[in-house]
Structure 1
Amino acid sequence: MNFKKITWSQISTVLMVLFVAVYLYSARMKSWVIMGLMMIGFFKPDIPQIKPGEKNQPAPTMLVQNLSGKSIDLQQQKGKVVFVNFWATWCPPCLAELPSINSLYEKVKADTNIVFVMVDVDNDLANSTKFLKNKRYQLPVYGGDAAHVPNSLFGEGIPTTIVVDKKGDVVFRHLNRAKYDDEKFVQYITNLAAEQ
């Protein structure tokens, strides 16, 4: 028998093929890779710069409900800053950004002028609440049928995050994953909450 000598190049090629195969078929692996990229500084949300005279869109009516039956209407939250995230438990980018959203929540939860609304677009509150509890996240989960959420808030995909200011205007909208516990974004949210 004539065996060829295995080289490091061949080993690394096999490992790379295995990594790509696992990445393509595993939602958990995708979310880990995305989280790693977020930790080293990728996927920071762009903080909007409002120009003088520029007007934001008012938040439309959006009614969501939590597992215990408590409802929140986005239009009735005037006087508070509302952080809304549309997500699902099967979505790798959603799962990747959850640790940073939970960290942001922990940093600002003492401020009663800031409200978090995590909208499970599958409207499977029992599953999403259990999922967050297993991860030890304290985020408030609400259900919302994606078909009944206005396109101005959510229409292109998940994760989608919006921020509504105290006047009831949508001042931030981001499609796809982001690292929300970044100091600039924390400052952005707290500054909005401090406005009169």
Structure 2
Amino acid sequence: MKMANHRNLAIAILALAAVSAIVLRQLEDKTETVQHPNATHPAEQAILPANGQTPPFESGAKAGLLAPSFTIQGENGVSYSVGGARDKAVLLNFWASWCDPCQAEAPELNQIAEKYKDTLDIYGINVTSYDYKANAERFVKKHKLVFPVMFDLKGEVYAKYNGSVFPTNVLIDRRGVISEIILGGLTAEQLDGKLEKLMQQKRL
């Protein structure tokens, strides 16, 4: 009788030890997988403005919405894309060679491209469906544009942004959100002031 009791006690102790080992292992696994909410890798960090707002989910041609995404090939054969977060803010410049304000702002855009080369990408998009490609190519050579130029042959990208005026400049922050859509030409000072505000962001 005593031997049976001892055997039962030994079995109970072994069972308890096994359960304890399983519970301890589960706790260790949880400890290994839980990270501090802010302990993300640099590539996964959200790009937020100074006020800490998160990006919207809706896209559209309107300030405060995610910029409509697209990929288009530049005259240099390189493909350029817009859509989602990126390392630099973007200025989309929709233009036509016959547009007087476009001709006036071309030298200013060259200066801006140089000034903000570390924080801003300028994409010069010729809306070729409203232009002639040969004239657009002469425009690029004449003004010696230093930023990437691409030809929107069917006006598809322009349509995504509800284009109706030349020039149209779209300012997109590093989250991929449209900051402002500027219809028509601006002075160099006015555009520079808007870009200064666009640059006032930080990576959190």
Q: Same fold (TM over 0.5)?
A: yes
Alignment of 1:1-196 (within 5 A): 56-75=64-83, 78-109=86-117, 111=118, 113-122=119-128, 127-145=135-153, 147-149=155-157, 151=159, 153-182=161-190, 183-192=192-201, 195-196=202-203
Q: Which residue of 1 aligns with 2:42?
A: none
- Cα separation, 2, equivalents of 1:137 and 1:104: 11
Tell me the CA shift for residue 97 of structure 1.
1.7
- The two structures have a TM-score, normalised by structure 2, of 0.59
Tell me the CA shift for residue 85 of structure 1.
0.4
> Quick one: percent identity of the two aligned structures?
26
- The two structures have a TM-score, normalised by structure 1, of 0.61
Instruction: Provide closer, same or farther for how the CA distance between residues 147 and 131 of structure 1 changes in structure 2, counting only shifts above 3 A.
Output: closer
SS at match of 2:140: helix
Tell me the CA shift for residue 64 of structure 1.
1.8
The answer for unaligned runs of 5 or more in structure 1 is 1-49
Tell me the CA shift for residue 77 of structure 1.
5.7
Equivalenced residue count is: 142
Q: Could you tell which deviates more after superposition, 155-164 or 134-143? A: 134-143
SS at match of 2:121: strand
Tell me the CA shift for residue 83 of structure 1.
0.6
Instruction: Provide closer, same or farther for how the CA distance between residues 154 and 96 of structure 1 changes in structure 2, counting only shifts above 3 A.
Output: farther
SS at match of 2:128: coil
- Counterpart residue type for residue 104 of structure 1: I
State the superposition RMSD in angstroms: 2.8
Tell me the CA shift for residue 148 of structure 1.
1.0
- Cα separation, 2, equivalents of 1:59 and 1:158: 19
Tell me the CA shift for residue 149 of structure 1.
1.9
- Cα separation, 2, equivalents of 1:103 and 1:137: 10
- Cα separation, 1, equivalents of 2:133 and 2:79: 13
- Cα contact 2:152–2:158 (8 A) shared by 1: no
The answer for unaligned runs of 5 or more in structure 2 is 1-50, 57-63
Instruction: Provide closer, same or farther for how the CA distance between residues 53 and 79 of structure 1 changes in structure 2, counting only shifts above 3 A.
Output: closer
